[in-house]
Amino acid sequence: MNNHSIIEAAVSFVKNELEFEPSGHDWWHIERVRNLAVAIAKQEQADLLVCELSALLHDIADEKLNDTKEAGLEKVCSWLMSHGAERRLMDHVMLIISTMSYNGGKNPPMDTIEGKVVQDADRLDAMGAIGIARTFIYSGATGRPMHQPGKDFSDADYRSSEKSAIYHFYEKLLKLKGLLNTDYARELAEERHAFMESYLNQFYKEWDLMEEGGD
């Protein structure tokens, strides 16, 4: 398969698998990450095919959408094999999608420039106006509350599944800017980060008025 055909085939595969995914991993997330990855790859002189294909396939293997991480990776691996991907391309894409996830910021840095590009693209889509929307969608889809003043940050030992959407800003979203790999992604992140900060200011302003105003 030539480069164009494998990309087109990946688009159909991913649309089919994720079109109606309800927790923030729908097709449009994939399409945005793909476009960001291509834009960053051009600035960084990274391999466009590796970046675009990895971006398209990156959430097919997500642990949340499969029985296990291994089963998800196996699905991607057999898709690549059955679509005639060369060994080198397949190994690189598999390496990227198996190691790029946020994981509390604890995964070691990506080895290749293409890995850094795709990871940055996925992280940028978790920031800014869209990142905020995805957080509230995810929280709603998983039964999490919007905000619970005082509770999320207290020492109380309660599960992550009970933490609010607002808590997720502190747990992840506001940390992403400092975890980016490439200069161009850092440039794109500035406005998104500032927007999240001003969103939180406005949120608390409205919330505090509600508290002051009583019931």
Amino acid at 108: P
- Which of the stretches 5-13, 151-159, 164-172, 178-186 binds ligand ADP when contact is defined by CB under 6 A? 164-172
Q: Which of 119, 135, 181, 182 binds ligand ADP (CB under 6 A)?
A: 135
Closest distance of CB 54 from ligand ADP, Å: 13
Tokens matching residue 95: 């390496």
* Residue 186: burial class (beta carbons within 10 Å; 0-12, 13-18, 19+): middle
Is position 166 an interface residue for ligand ADP (rule: CB under 6 A)? no
Residue 13 or 207: the one with the smaller Cβ distance to Ni ion is 13
Is position 114 an interface residue for Ni ion (rule: CB under 5 A)? no
Q: Which of 90, 94, 165, 188 binds ligand ADP (CB under 6 A)?
A: 165
Is position 44 an interface residue for Ni ion (rule: CB under 5 A)? no
Residue 87 or 125: the one with the smaller Cβ distance to ligand ADP is 125
Task: Return all residues near 203 (Cβ < 8 A) that are at least 6 apart.
Answer: 147, 166
Is position 131 an interface residue for ligand ADP (rule: CB under 6 A)? yes
Amino acid at 119: Q
Task: Return all residues near 190 (Cβ < 8 A) that are at least 6 apart.
Answer: 177
Amino acid at 136: F
Is position 115 an interface residue for ligand ADP (rule: CB under 6 A)? no
Determine contact, residues 29/134, Cβ cutoff 8 Å: yes
Is position 17 an interface residue for Ni ion (rule: CB under 5 A)? no
Greatest distance between any 2 Cα atoms in the chain: 65
Closest distance of CB 105 from Ni ion, Å: 15
